[in-house]
A and B are shown apart, each in its own frame.
Chain A
Amino acid sequence: MSRQGVGWSRYWISFQTIFVKEILRFTRIWVQTILPSVITTTLYFVIFGRLIGDRIGTMGGLDYLDFIVPGLVLMGVITNAYSNVVSSFYSSKFSRYIEELLVSPAPNWVILAGYVAGGVARGLVVGVAVMLVAMVFTEIRIHSVAVTLLVITMTAVLFALGGFINAIYANSFDDISIVPTFVLTPLTYLGGVFYSIELLPGFWQGVSLANPVLYMVNAFRYGLQGVSDIPVGIAFGIIAIFILVLGAFSLHLLRRGVGIKT
Protein backbone atom coordinates (compact mmCIF):
# COMPACT_ATOMS: atom_id res chain seq x y z
CA MET A 1 0.00 0.00 0.00
CA SER A 2 3.05 2.22 -0.02
CA ARG A 3 2.45 5.53 -1.76
CA GLN A 4 -1.07 4.56 -2.65
CA GLY A 5 -3.56 7.28 -1.96
CA VAL A 6 -5.57 7.02 1.22
CA GLY A 7 -9.35 7.20 1.50
CA TRP A 8 -10.90 9.91 -0.62
CA SER A 9 -7.72 10.71 -2.48
CA ARG A 10 -7.46 7.05 -3.53
CA TYR A 11 -11.08 7.06 -4.63
CA TRP A 12 -10.51 10.25 -6.57
CA ILE A 13 -7.51 8.75 -8.40
CA SER A 14 -9.50 5.60 -9.24
CA PHE A 15 -12.39 7.71 -10.51
CA GLN A 16 -10.07 9.92 -12.55
CA THR A 17 -8.44 6.87 -14.10
CA ILE A 18 -11.74 5.40 -15.26
CA PHE A 19 -13.02 8.79 -16.40
CA VAL A 20 -9.90 9.65 -18.41
CA LYS A 21 -9.83 6.16 -19.90
CA GLU A 22 -13.42 6.62 -21.05
CA ILE A 23 -12.74 10.03 -22.55
CA LEU A 24 -9.69 8.72 -24.39
CA ARG A 25 -11.78 5.84 -25.69
CA PHE A 26 -14.47 7.93 -27.31
CA THR A 27 -12.15 10.66 -28.54
CA ARG A 28 -9.81 8.08 -30.08
CA ILE A 29 -12.69 6.78 -32.19
CA TRP A 30 -14.46 10.14 -32.64
CA VAL A 31 -15.50 9.29 -36.19
CA GLN A 32 -17.67 6.53 -34.75
CA THR A 33 -18.73 8.28 -31.56
CA ILE A 34 -19.06 12.03 -32.12
CA LEU A 35 -19.44 12.58 -35.85
CA PRO A 36 -22.57 10.48 -36.59
CA SER A 37 -24.75 12.50 -34.19
CA VAL A 38 -23.48 15.75 -35.64
CA ILE A 39 -24.24 14.62 -39.19
CA THR A 40 -27.69 13.28 -38.28
CA THR A 41 -28.75 16.44 -36.47
CA THR A 42 -27.39 18.60 -39.28
CA LEU A 43 -29.71 16.68 -41.62
CA TYR A 44 -32.60 17.22 -39.20
CA PHE A 45 -31.91 20.94 -39.16
CA VAL A 46 -31.70 21.09 -42.97
CA ILE A 47 -34.76 18.94 -43.70
CA PHE A 48 -37.13 19.55 -40.77
CA GLY A 49 -35.87 22.96 -39.81
CA ARG A 50 -35.25 24.66 -43.14
CA LEU A 51 -37.12 22.77 -45.87
CA ILE A 52 -40.23 21.58 -44.02
CA GLY A 53 -40.04 23.91 -41.03
CA ASP A 54 -40.56 27.03 -43.12
CA ARG A 55 -43.93 25.64 -44.25
CA ILE A 56 -44.95 24.65 -40.72
CA GLY A 57 -44.54 28.14 -39.33
CA THR A 58 -44.53 28.33 -35.53
CA MET A 59 -44.78 25.69 -32.83
CA GLY A 60 -45.35 26.48 -29.18
CA GLY A 61 -44.91 30.15 -29.97
CA LEU A 62 -41.48 29.62 -31.61
CA ASP A 63 -40.23 29.28 -35.18
CA TYR A 64 -40.25 25.58 -35.95
CA LEU A 65 -36.47 25.48 -36.37
CA ASP A 66 -36.00 27.14 -32.99
CA PHE A 67 -38.55 24.77 -31.49
CA ILE A 68 -36.69 21.61 -32.49
CA VAL A 69 -33.22 22.82 -31.41
CA PRO A 70 -33.51 21.81 -27.71
CA GLY A 71 -34.97 18.41 -28.56
CA LEU A 72 -32.29 17.63 -31.12
CA VAL A 73 -29.51 18.68 -28.76
CA LEU A 74 -31.00 16.56 -26.01
CA MET A 75 -31.52 13.65 -28.39
CA GLY A 76 -27.78 13.69 -29.11
CA VAL A 77 -27.00 13.87 -25.41
CA ILE A 78 -29.35 11.01 -24.52
CA THR A 79 -28.19 8.69 -27.29
CA ASN A 80 -24.50 9.30 -26.70
CA ALA A 81 -24.50 9.19 -22.92
CA TYR A 82 -26.34 5.86 -23.15
CA SER A 83 -24.27 4.39 -25.98
CA ASN A 84 -20.95 5.30 -24.43
CA VAL A 85 -21.59 3.46 -21.20
CA VAL A 86 -23.41 0.48 -22.67
CA SER A 87 -20.77 -0.22 -25.30
CA SER A 88 -17.75 0.52 -23.12
CA PHE A 89 -18.93 -1.44 -20.10
CA TYR A 90 -20.21 -4.34 -22.16
CA SER A 91 -16.90 -4.50 -24.07
CA SER A 92 -15.06 -4.66 -20.76
CA LYS A 93 -17.30 -7.57 -19.76
CA PHE A 94 -16.97 -9.29 -23.12
CA SER A 95 -13.16 -9.07 -23.18
CA ARG A 96 -13.01 -9.64 -19.42
CA TYR A 97 -10.92 -6.57 -18.65
CA ILE A 98 -13.64 -5.52 -16.23
CA GLU A 99 -11.69 -7.91 -13.98
CA GLU A 100 -8.95 -5.27 -13.80
CA LEU A 101 -11.42 -3.14 -11.87
CA LEU A 102 -13.10 -5.90 -9.92
CA VAL A 103 -9.83 -7.09 -8.37
CA SER A 104 -8.86 -3.54 -7.45
CA PRO A 105 -9.97 -1.80 -4.25
CA ALA A 106 -12.00 0.74 -6.23
CA PRO A 107 -15.45 0.61 -4.59
CA ASN A 108 -18.55 -0.03 -6.68
CA TRP A 109 -19.75 3.54 -6.49
CA VAL A 110 -16.43 4.79 -7.87
CA ILE A 111 -16.64 2.33 -10.76
CA LEU A 112 -20.20 3.43 -11.48
CA ALA A 113 -19.33 7.12 -11.17
CA GLY A 114 -16.36 6.72 -13.52
CA TYR A 115 -18.38 5.06 -16.27
CA VAL A 116 -21.32 7.44 -15.84
CA ALA A 117 -19.01 10.45 -15.94
CA GLY A 118 -17.51 9.11 -19.17
CA GLY A 119 -20.99 8.81 -20.66
CA VAL A 120 -21.92 12.30 -19.48
CA ALA A 121 -18.72 13.69 -21.02
CA ARG A 122 -19.53 12.19 -24.41
CA GLY A 123 -23.14 13.33 -24.14
CA LEU A 124 -22.04 16.88 -23.38
CA VAL A 125 -19.43 16.93 -26.14
CA VAL A 126 -22.08 15.87 -28.64
CA GLY A 127 -24.59 18.31 -27.13
CA VAL A 128 -22.18 21.20 -27.58
CA ALA A 129 -21.34 20.05 -31.11
CA VAL A 130 -25.03 19.89 -32.06
CA MET A 131 -25.57 23.29 -30.48
CA LEU A 132 -22.77 24.70 -32.62
CA VAL A 133 -24.39 23.20 -35.72
CA ALA A 134 -27.71 24.74 -34.66
CA MET A 135 -26.05 28.13 -34.45
CA VAL A 136 -25.32 27.89 -38.16
CA PHE A 137 -29.06 27.71 -38.83
CA THR A 138 -30.50 29.98 -36.16
CA GLU A 139 -29.59 32.36 -33.40
CA ILE A 140 -29.26 30.69 -30.00
CA ARG A 141 -29.94 32.78 -26.92
CA ILE A 142 -29.90 30.98 -23.63
CA HIS A 143 -32.79 31.94 -21.37
CA SER A 144 -31.31 30.37 -18.21
CA VAL A 145 -27.74 29.06 -18.19
CA ALA A 146 -28.25 27.31 -14.85
CA VAL A 147 -31.38 25.43 -15.97
CA THR A 148 -29.81 24.55 -19.31
CA LEU A 149 -26.63 23.13 -17.77
CA LEU A 150 -28.47 21.34 -15.01
CA VAL A 151 -31.00 19.69 -17.31
CA ILE A 152 -28.46 18.60 -19.88
CA THR A 153 -26.14 17.17 -17.22
CA MET A 154 -28.88 15.42 -15.27
CA THR A 155 -30.31 13.95 -18.45
CA ALA A 156 -26.89 12.67 -19.45
CA VAL A 157 -26.43 11.12 -15.98
CA LEU A 158 -29.83 9.43 -16.16
CA PHE A 159 -29.22 7.84 -19.55
CA ALA A 160 -25.64 6.92 -18.73
CA LEU A 161 -27.07 4.98 -15.78
CA GLY A 162 -29.58 3.37 -18.14
CA GLY A 163 -26.71 2.34 -20.41
CA PHE A 164 -24.86 0.87 -17.45
CA ILE A 165 -27.81 -1.29 -16.42
CA ASN A 166 -28.28 -2.41 -20.02
CA ALA A 167 -24.60 -3.40 -20.18
CA ILE A 168 -24.84 -5.34 -16.92
CA TYR A 169 -27.66 -7.48 -18.28
CA ALA A 170 -26.36 -7.75 -21.86
CA ASN A 171 -25.08 -11.13 -22.93
CA SER A 172 -24.23 -10.24 -26.51
CA PHE A 173 -23.57 -7.21 -28.66
CA ASP A 174 -27.14 -7.58 -29.99
CA ASP A 175 -28.44 -6.95 -26.49
CA ILE A 176 -26.82 -3.54 -26.32
CA SER A 177 -28.63 -2.29 -29.42
CA ILE A 178 -32.12 -3.50 -28.49
CA VAL A 179 -32.88 -0.80 -25.92
CA PRO A 180 -31.63 2.13 -28.04
CA THR A 181 -33.61 0.91 -31.03
CA PHE A 182 -36.85 -0.18 -29.41
CA VAL A 183 -37.02 2.03 -26.34
CA LEU A 184 -34.81 5.10 -26.54
CA THR A 185 -35.60 6.18 -30.09
CA PRO A 186 -39.42 5.94 -29.72
CA LEU A 187 -39.30 7.68 -26.32
CA THR A 188 -37.20 10.48 -27.78
CA TYR A 189 -39.27 10.94 -30.93
CA LEU A 190 -42.48 10.91 -28.87
CA GLY A 191 -40.93 13.11 -26.18
CA GLY A 192 -41.86 16.44 -27.73
CA VAL A 193 -38.72 16.88 -29.79
CA PHE A 194 -40.57 17.70 -32.98
CA TYR A 195 -43.98 18.82 -31.68
CA SER A 196 -45.73 20.39 -28.75
CA ILE A 197 -47.98 17.99 -26.87
CA GLU A 198 -50.67 20.65 -27.08
CA LEU A 199 -51.17 19.38 -30.64
CA LEU A 200 -52.21 15.97 -29.34
CA PRO A 201 -55.73 14.91 -28.36
CA GLY A 202 -56.35 14.86 -24.59
CA PHE A 203 -55.84 11.11 -24.20
CA TRP A 204 -52.46 11.12 -25.97
CA GLN A 205 -51.39 14.16 -24.02
CA GLY A 206 -51.96 12.07 -20.89
CA VAL A 207 -49.98 9.16 -22.37
CA SER A 208 -47.14 11.53 -23.31
CA LEU A 209 -46.89 12.65 -19.70
CA ALA A 210 -45.74 9.12 -18.82
CA ASN A 211 -42.71 9.59 -21.07
CA PRO A 212 -39.76 10.84 -18.99
CA VAL A 213 -38.01 12.25 -22.06
CA LEU A 214 -40.86 14.75 -22.45
CA TYR A 215 -39.92 16.34 -19.13
CA MET A 216 -36.28 16.59 -20.05
CA VAL A 217 -36.91 18.06 -23.49
CA ASN A 218 -39.32 20.62 -22.07
CA ALA A 219 -37.07 21.56 -19.18
CA PHE A 220 -34.21 22.00 -21.62
CA ARG A 221 -36.43 24.03 -23.93
CA TYR A 222 -37.26 26.22 -20.97
CA GLY A 223 -33.56 26.66 -20.21
CA LEU A 224 -32.81 27.71 -23.77
CA GLN A 225 -35.96 29.52 -24.78
CA GLY A 226 -38.05 30.11 -21.68
CA VAL A 227 -40.92 27.97 -23.08
CA SER A 228 -42.16 24.62 -21.74
CA ASP A 229 -45.25 22.36 -21.88
CA ILE A 230 -44.41 21.15 -18.37
CA PRO A 231 -43.63 23.04 -15.13
CA VAL A 232 -39.82 22.98 -14.87
CA GLY A 233 -39.82 22.08 -11.16
CA ILE A 234 -41.78 18.91 -11.87
CA ALA A 235 -39.37 18.06 -14.69
CA PHE A 236 -36.38 18.38 -12.36
CA GLY A 237 -38.12 16.33 -9.70
CA ILE A 238 -38.88 13.51 -12.12
CA ILE A 239 -35.35 13.45 -13.55
CA ALA A 240 -33.89 13.41 -10.03
CA ILE A 241 -36.15 10.53 -8.98
CA PHE A 242 -35.14 8.51 -12.04
CA ILE A 243 -31.47 9.17 -11.33
CA LEU A 244 -31.81 8.03 -7.72
CA VAL A 245 -33.72 4.88 -8.65
CA LEU A 246 -31.41 3.87 -11.49
CA GLY A 247 -28.30 4.78 -9.48
CA ALA A 248 -29.41 2.69 -6.51
CA PHE A 249 -30.34 -0.19 -8.79
CA SER A 250 -26.95 -0.03 -10.56
CA LEU A 251 -25.13 -0.18 -7.22
CA HIS A 252 -27.30 -3.07 -6.15
CA LEU A 253 -26.40 -4.96 -9.34
CA LEU A 254 -22.71 -4.25 -8.83
CA ARG A 255 -22.85 -5.37 -5.22
CA ARG A 256 -24.51 -8.63 -6.20
CA GLY A 257 -22.10 -9.02 -9.10
CA VAL A 258 -24.96 -9.55 -11.55
CA GLY A 259 -23.57 -10.18 -15.02
CA ILE A 260 -19.96 -9.70 -13.93
CA LYS A 261 -19.32 -12.29 -11.24
CA THR A 262 -20.28 -15.94 -11.01
Chain B
Amino acid sequence: MSALDVQQLTKTYKGGFQALKGIDLTVEEGDFFALLGPNGAGKSTFIGILASLVNKTSGRVRVFGEDQDRTPELVKSFIGLVPQEFNFNLFLPVVEVVVNQAGYYGIPRREARVRAERYLKQLDLWDRRDTEMRKLSGGLKRRLMIARALVHEPRLLILDEPTAGVDIEIRRSMWTFLRELNAGGTTIILTTHYLEEAESLCRNIAIINHGEIAERTSVASLLGRLHTETFVLNLKGRLSELPQLGGFVLQHLDDCTLEVEMSREHTINGLFEALSRNGIEVISLRNKQNRLERLFLEMVDRRTGAGWSSSDPADAPDAAREVIA
Protein backbone atom coordinates (compact mmCIF):
# COMPACT_ATOMS: atom_id res chain seq x y z
CA MET B 1 0.00 0.00 0.00
CA SER B 2 1.13 3.55 -0.66
CA ALA B 3 1.73 5.59 2.45
CA LEU B 4 1.32 8.70 0.35
CA ASP B 5 -0.26 9.16 -3.02
CA VAL B 6 -0.35 12.71 -4.36
CA GLN B 7 -1.89 13.55 -7.70
CA GLN B 8 -1.73 16.81 -9.62
CA LEU B 9 -1.19 18.86 -6.49
CA THR B 10 -1.08 22.60 -7.12
CA LYS B 11 -0.79 25.61 -4.90
CA THR B 12 -1.06 29.20 -6.00
CA TYR B 13 -0.65 31.80 -3.28
CA LYS B 14 -2.49 35.09 -3.16
CA GLY B 15 -0.65 37.38 -5.49
CA GLY B 16 -0.33 34.64 -8.08
CA PHE B 17 2.88 32.88 -7.04
CA GLN B 18 2.57 29.27 -8.09
CA ALA B 19 4.45 27.25 -5.48
CA LEU B 20 3.38 23.80 -6.72
CA LYS B 21 2.66 23.08 -10.37
CA GLY B 22 0.95 19.72 -10.46
CA ILE B 23 2.97 17.41 -8.23
CA ASP B 24 2.52 13.66 -8.65
CA LEU B 25 4.28 11.60 -6.02
CA THR B 26 3.91 8.19 -4.43
CA VAL B 27 5.72 7.02 -1.32
CA GLU B 28 5.41 3.35 -0.39
CA GLU B 29 4.61 2.18 3.10
CA GLY B 30 7.76 1.59 5.16
CA ASP B 31 9.93 3.79 2.96
CA PHE B 32 12.49 6.26 4.21
CA PHE B 33 12.03 8.98 1.65
CA ALA B 34 13.98 12.17 1.04
CA LEU B 35 12.49 15.29 -0.44
CA LEU B 36 15.16 17.64 -1.66
CA GLY B 37 15.14 20.95 -3.38
CA PRO B 38 16.68 24.39 -3.24
CA ASN B 39 15.17 27.12 -1.09
CA GLY B 40 11.81 28.23 -2.43
CA ALA B 41 11.36 25.05 -4.49
CA GLY B 42 8.04 24.22 -2.84
CA LYS B 43 9.07 21.60 -0.25
CA SER B 44 7.55 23.34 2.76
CA THR B 45 4.37 24.17 0.85
CA PHE B 46 4.09 20.51 -0.13
CA ILE B 47 4.57 19.35 3.44
CA GLY B 48 2.23 22.05 4.72
CA ILE B 49 -0.53 20.70 2.48
CA LEU B 50 0.07 17.12 3.66
CA ALA B 51 -0.14 18.28 7.27
CA SER B 52 -3.25 20.44 6.69
CA LEU B 53 -1.41 23.66 7.47
CA VAL B 54 -1.66 24.99 3.92
CA ASN B 55 -4.79 24.99 1.77
CA LYS B 56 -4.14 23.37 -1.58
CA THR B 57 -5.42 24.97 -4.75
CA SER B 58 -6.20 21.69 -6.51
CA GLY B 59 -5.19 18.06 -6.64
CA ARG B 60 -5.65 15.01 -4.49
CA VAL B 61 -3.80 13.73 -1.44
CA ARG B 62 -4.27 10.19 -0.16
CA VAL B 63 -2.57 8.88 2.95
CA PHE B 64 -2.70 5.11 3.44
CA GLY B 65 -5.55 5.06 0.94
CA GLU B 66 -7.63 7.70 2.74
CA ASP B 67 -8.55 10.87 0.89
CA GLN B 68 -7.57 14.02 2.73
CA ASP B 69 -10.73 15.81 1.59
CA ARG B 70 -13.12 13.01 2.50
CA THR B 71 -11.69 11.79 5.80
CA PRO B 72 -9.50 14.65 7.01
CA GLU B 73 -9.53 13.57 10.66
CA LEU B 74 -8.37 10.05 9.83
CA VAL B 75 -5.65 11.35 7.52
CA LYS B 76 -4.44 13.73 10.23
CA SER B 77 -4.27 10.88 12.73
CA PHE B 78 -1.98 8.96 10.34
CA ILE B 79 0.55 11.80 10.08
CA GLY B 80 3.11 13.12 12.54
CA LEU B 81 4.77 16.39 11.60
CA VAL B 82 8.12 17.75 12.70
CA PRO B 83 8.08 21.26 11.28
CA GLN B 84 11.03 23.32 10.21
CA GLU B 85 10.34 26.25 12.55
CA PHE B 86 9.89 25.93 16.29
CA ASN B 87 6.20 26.17 17.10
CA PHE B 88 5.85 25.85 20.85
CA ASN B 89 4.23 27.70 23.65
CA LEU B 90 7.51 28.76 25.19
CA PHE B 91 6.07 29.06 28.68
CA LEU B 92 4.95 25.45 28.98
CA PRO B 93 7.07 22.71 30.53
CA VAL B 94 8.40 20.07 28.16
CA VAL B 95 6.17 17.24 29.36
CA GLU B 96 3.04 19.37 29.08
CA VAL B 97 3.77 20.11 25.43
CA VAL B 98 3.81 16.40 24.64
CA VAL B 99 0.85 15.47 26.86
CA ASN B 100 -1.27 18.28 25.40
CA GLN B 101 -0.44 17.17 21.88
CA ALA B 102 -1.62 13.66 22.76
CA GLY B 103 -4.81 15.18 24.14
CA TYR B 104 -5.52 17.00 20.88
CA TYR B 105 -5.39 13.58 19.21
CA GLY B 106 -7.93 12.23 21.67
CA ILE B 107 -5.54 10.15 23.75
CA PRO B 108 -6.70 9.91 27.39
CA ARG B 109 -4.49 11.82 29.82
CA ARG B 110 -3.16 8.78 31.69
CA GLU B 111 -2.12 7.07 28.44
CA ALA B 112 -0.74 10.40 27.19
CA ARG B 113 1.54 10.63 30.24
CA VAL B 114 2.82 7.08 29.67
CA ARG B 115 3.59 7.84 26.03
CA ALA B 116 5.16 11.20 26.86
CA GLU B 117 7.50 9.49 29.28
CA ARG B 118 8.38 6.82 26.70
CA TYR B 119 9.23 9.25 23.90
CA LEU B 120 10.92 11.82 26.12
CA LYS B 121 13.14 9.05 27.47
CA GLN B 122 13.90 7.76 23.98
CA LEU B 123 14.96 11.24 22.93
CA ASP B 124 16.93 11.93 26.12
CA LEU B 125 14.59 14.65 27.29
CA TRP B 126 13.03 13.01 30.34
CA ASP B 127 15.41 14.76 32.73
CA ARG B 128 14.21 18.07 31.29
CA ARG B 129 10.52 17.25 31.50
CA ASP B 130 9.74 20.11 33.89
CA THR B 131 11.89 22.67 32.10
CA GLU B 132 10.07 25.50 30.36
CA MET B 133 10.40 25.39 26.60
CA ARG B 134 12.10 28.77 26.36
CA LYS B 135 14.99 27.44 28.44
CA LEU B 136 15.80 24.59 26.05
CA SER B 137 18.61 24.78 23.51
CA GLY B 138 17.86 24.57 19.79
CA GLY B 139 18.97 20.93 19.59
CA LEU B 140 16.73 19.90 22.48
CA LYS B 141 13.79 21.73 20.95
CA ARG B 142 14.33 19.82 17.72
CA ARG B 143 14.30 16.53 19.62
CA LEU B 144 11.18 17.57 21.48
CA MET B 145 9.44 18.26 18.17
CA ILE B 146 10.11 14.65 17.24
CA ALA B 147 8.74 13.37 20.56
CA ARG B 148 5.67 15.55 20.12
CA ALA B 149 5.10 14.30 16.58
CA LEU B 150 5.34 10.67 17.71
CA VAL B 151 3.09 10.77 20.75
CA HIS B 152 0.02 9.69 18.77
CA GLU B 153 2.10 6.97 17.09
CA PRO B 154 1.67 8.06 13.47
CA ARG B 155 2.16 5.67 10.58
CA LEU B 156 3.73 8.43 8.49
CA LEU B 157 6.29 10.77 10.01
CA ILE B 158 7.16 13.90 8.06
CA LEU B 159 10.27 15.79 9.09
CA ASP B 160 10.98 19.19 7.59
CA GLU B 161 14.71 19.75 8.06
CA PRO B 162 14.81 18.09 11.47
CA THR B 163 18.53 18.49 12.03
CA ALA B 164 18.90 22.11 10.91
CA GLY B 165 21.19 23.91 13.31
CA VAL B 166 21.93 20.98 15.62
CA ASP B 167 25.42 19.80 16.45
CA ILE B 168 26.90 16.67 14.92
CA GLU B 169 26.47 14.52 18.02
CA ILE B 170 22.75 15.25 18.30
CA ARG B 171 22.34 14.87 14.56
CA ARG B 172 23.92 11.43 14.61
CA SER B 173 21.79 10.32 17.56
CA MET B 174 18.69 11.57 15.75
CA TRP B 175 19.69 9.58 12.69
CA THR B 176 20.01 6.43 14.77
CA PHE B 177 16.62 7.09 16.33
CA LEU B 178 14.97 7.67 12.96
CA ARG B 179 16.54 4.53 11.49
CA GLU B 180 15.15 2.47 14.37
CA LEU B 181 11.76 4.09 13.97
CA ASN B 182 11.72 3.29 10.27
CA ALA B 183 12.85 -0.27 10.97
CA GLY B 184 9.86 -0.53 13.30
CA GLY B 185 7.52 0.16 10.37
CA THR B 186 6.99 3.92 10.42
CA THR B 187 7.15 5.47 6.97
CA ILE B 188 9.37 8.55 7.03
CA ILE B 189 9.50 11.49 4.65
CA LEU B 190 12.38 13.83 5.26
CA THR B 191 13.39 17.14 3.79
CA THR B 192 16.91 18.21 4.45
CA HIS B 193 19.60 20.52 3.28
CA TYR B 194 22.25 18.11 4.52
CA LEU B 195 22.54 15.88 1.51
CA GLU B 196 24.79 13.56 3.44
CA GLU B 197 21.75 13.02 5.66
CA ALA B 198 19.56 11.97 2.74
CA GLU B 199 22.31 9.75 1.37
CA SER B 200 22.88 8.11 4.71
CA LEU B 201 19.24 7.61 5.76
CA CYS B 202 16.96 7.39 2.78
CA ARG B 203 16.17 4.69 0.26
CA ASN B 204 14.21 6.79 -2.20
CA ILE B 205 14.37 10.38 -3.16
CA ALA B 206 12.48 13.12 -4.98
CA ILE B 207 13.89 16.43 -5.99
CA ILE B 208 11.50 19.37 -6.19
CA ASN B 209 12.51 22.38 -8.19
CA HIS B 210 10.32 25.33 -9.14
CA GLY B 211 7.23 23.54 -7.82
CA GLU B 212 7.73 20.42 -9.92
CA ILE B 213 9.21 17.01 -9.29
CA ALA B 214 12.52 17.15 -11.12
CA GLU B 215 13.53 13.61 -10.22
CA ARG B 216 12.00 10.66 -8.40
CA THR B 217 14.21 7.65 -7.97
CA SER B 218 16.12 5.53 -5.47
CA VAL B 219 19.17 6.99 -3.78
CA ALA B 220 21.24 4.05 -5.04
CA SER B 221 20.17 4.60 -8.61
CA LEU B 222 20.85 8.31 -8.37
CA LEU B 223 24.30 7.73 -6.97
CA GLY B 224 24.90 5.14 -9.68
CA ARG B 225 24.83 7.97 -12.19
CA LEU B 226 28.04 9.37 -10.79
CA HIS B 227 30.92 8.63 -13.07
CA THR B 228 33.57 9.60 -10.59
CA GLU B 229 34.32 8.93 -6.95
CA THR B 230 36.30 11.20 -4.66
CA PHE B 231 38.49 10.08 -1.75
CA VAL B 232 40.39 12.02 0.86
CA LEU B 233 43.75 10.47 1.86
CA ASN B 234 45.75 11.22 4.99
CA LEU B 235 49.42 10.82 4.17
CA LYS B 236 52.21 9.58 6.39
CA GLY B 237 54.69 12.18 5.28
CA ARG B 238 54.52 15.68 3.91
CA LEU B 239 53.93 16.06 0.22
CA SER B 240 55.50 19.15 -1.26
CA GLU B 241 54.70 18.49 -4.91
CA LEU B 242 51.72 16.77 -6.55
CA PRO B 243 52.78 13.68 -8.54
CA GLN B 244 51.27 12.97 -11.93
CA LEU B 245 49.14 9.81 -11.70
CA GLY B 246 47.50 8.75 -14.95
CA GLY B 247 43.72 8.50 -14.68
CA PHE B 248 43.55 10.17 -11.26
CA VAL B 249 42.94 13.85 -10.54
CA LEU B 250 44.85 14.92 -7.46
CA GLN B 251 44.36 17.97 -5.33
CA HIS B 252 46.34 19.19 -2.34
CA LEU B 253 44.13 19.94 0.65
CA ASP B 254 47.17 20.54 2.88
CA ASP B 255 50.70 19.14 3.17
CA CYS B 256 49.49 15.81 4.56
CA THR B 257 46.08 15.51 2.91
CA LEU B 258 45.32 14.64 -0.65
CA GLU B 259 42.03 14.56 -2.49
CA VAL B 260 41.83 12.06 -5.32
CA GLU B 261 39.07 11.94 -7.90
CA MET B 262 38.94 8.73 -9.91
CA SER B 263 36.66 7.47 -12.62
CA ARG B 264 34.78 4.22 -12.29
CA GLU B 265 37.16 2.43 -14.69
CA HIS B 266 39.91 2.66 -12.09
CA THR B 267 40.24 0.71 -8.86
CA ILE B 268 41.49 1.61 -5.42
CA ASN B 269 44.15 -1.08 -5.85
CA GLY B 270 45.37 0.77 -8.90
CA LEU B 271 45.40 4.03 -6.99
CA PHE B 272 47.52 2.56 -4.18
CA GLU B 273 49.94 1.00 -6.65
CA ALA B 274 50.39 4.36 -8.34
CA LEU B 275 50.86 6.11 -4.99
CA SER B 276 53.41 3.48 -3.85
CA ARG B 277 55.38 3.92 -7.07
CA ASN B 278 55.67 7.59 -6.16
CA GLY B 279 56.76 6.81 -2.60
CA ILE B 280 53.57 8.12 -1.04
CA GLU B 281 52.37 6.25 2.05
CA VAL B 282 48.74 6.50 3.12
CA ILE B 283 47.64 6.32 6.77
CA SER B 284 43.88 6.45 6.20
CA LEU B 285 41.27 7.02 3.54
CA ARG B 286 37.70 8.22 3.52
CA ASN B 287 35.03 8.70 0.91
CA LYS B 288 34.20 12.34 0.36
CA GLN B 289 30.53 12.65 1.36
CA ASN B 290 29.43 15.05 -1.27
CA ARG B 291 28.21 12.67 -3.92
CA LEU B 292 24.55 13.48 -3.68
CA GLU B 293 25.33 17.14 -3.33
CA ARG B 294 27.14 17.07 -6.63
CA LEU B 295 24.30 15.33 -8.39
CA PHE B 296 21.81 17.67 -6.81
CA LEU B 297 23.69 20.74 -7.91
CA GLU B 298 24.07 19.32 -11.39
CA MET B 299 20.36 18.65 -11.58
CA VAL B 300 19.23 22.00 -10.25
CA ASP B 301 21.78 23.77 -12.38
CA ARG B 302 20.66 21.91 -15.49
CA ARG B 303 17.03 22.79 -14.93
CA THR B 304 17.52 26.42 -13.92
CA GLY B 305 20.20 27.07 -16.49
CA ALA B 306 22.12 29.00 -13.86
CA GLY B 307 25.39 27.30 -14.51
CA TRP B 308 28.95 28.14 -13.73
CA SER B 309 31.95 27.95 -15.99
CA SER B 310 33.52 24.83 -14.53
CA SER B 311 32.09 21.50 -15.57
CA ASP B 312 32.41 20.23 -12.00
CA PRO B 313 29.71 21.49 -9.66
CA ALA B 314 32.09 20.97 -6.77
CA ASP B 315 33.97 23.93 -8.18
CA ALA B 316 30.88 26.08 -8.00
CA PRO B 317 31.34 29.47 -6.45
CA ASP B 318 29.84 30.12 -3.02
CA ALA B 319 26.89 31.99 -4.47
CA ALA B 320 25.89 28.96 -6.45
CA ARG B 321 26.36 26.65 -3.47
CA GLU B 322 23.95 28.70 -1.38
CA VAL B 323 21.01 26.93 -2.99
CA ILE B 324 21.63 24.07 -0.62
CA ALA B 325 22.92 26.08 2.33
Contacts and interface: CB of A to CB of B under 8 A. Distances in A.
A181 interface: no
A92 interface: yes
Interface string B34-57: 000000000000001001111100
B53 A102 contact: yes
Contacts of A1: 77
A3 B107 contact: yes
B106 A13 contact: yes
Interface stretch (B79-87, B170-178, B255-263, B308-316): B79-87
B76 A104 contact: yes
Contact of A100 (B73, B107, B111, B148): B148
A187 to B, nearest CB: 31
Interface of B: 13, 48, 51-55, 72-74, 76-77, 79, 81, 83, 85-90, 100-101, 103-109, 111, 148, 152-153
Contacts of B86: 96
A107 interface: yes
Contact of A5 (B81, B87, B106): B106
A5 B109 CA distance: 11
A21 interface: yes
Contacts of A6: 106
B74 A100 contact: no
Interface string A1-26: 11111100111011011100100000
Nearest to B80: A103
B55 A99 contact: no
Contacts of B54: 261-262
A103 B79 contact: yes
Interface of A: 1-6, 9-11, 13-14, 16-18, 21, 91-92, 95-97, 99-107, 256-257, 261-262
A218 B220 CA distance: 75
B12 to A, nearest CB: 11
Query: Helix, strand, loop or mixed for chain B's interface?
Result: loop
A4 B87 contact: no
Nearest to B86: A96
Given A102-B51, A105-B106, A262-B54, 11 more contacts: A10-B105, A13-B108, A13-B109, A14-B106, A17-B103, A97-B87, A99-B83, A100-B87, A106-B105, A256-B55, A261-B55
Given A4-B105, A11-B106, A105-B76, A99 B100 contact: no
Contact of A105 (B53, B74, B111): B74
B107 A4 contact: yes
A97 B89 contact: yes
B53 A99 contact: yes
Contacts of A256: 55
A102 B111 CA distance: 22
A262 B53 CA distance: 7
12 contacts: A5-B108, A16-B103, A17-B109, A97-B89, A99-B83, A102-B53, A103-B52, A103-B81, A104-B101, A105-B105, A106-B104, A261-B54
A97 to B, nearest CB: 5
B211 to A, nearest CB: 15
A2 B51 CA distance: 20
Given A14-B103, A105-B106, A92 B89 contact: yes
Contacts of B48: 262
Given A1-B77, A261-B53, A21 B100 contact: yes
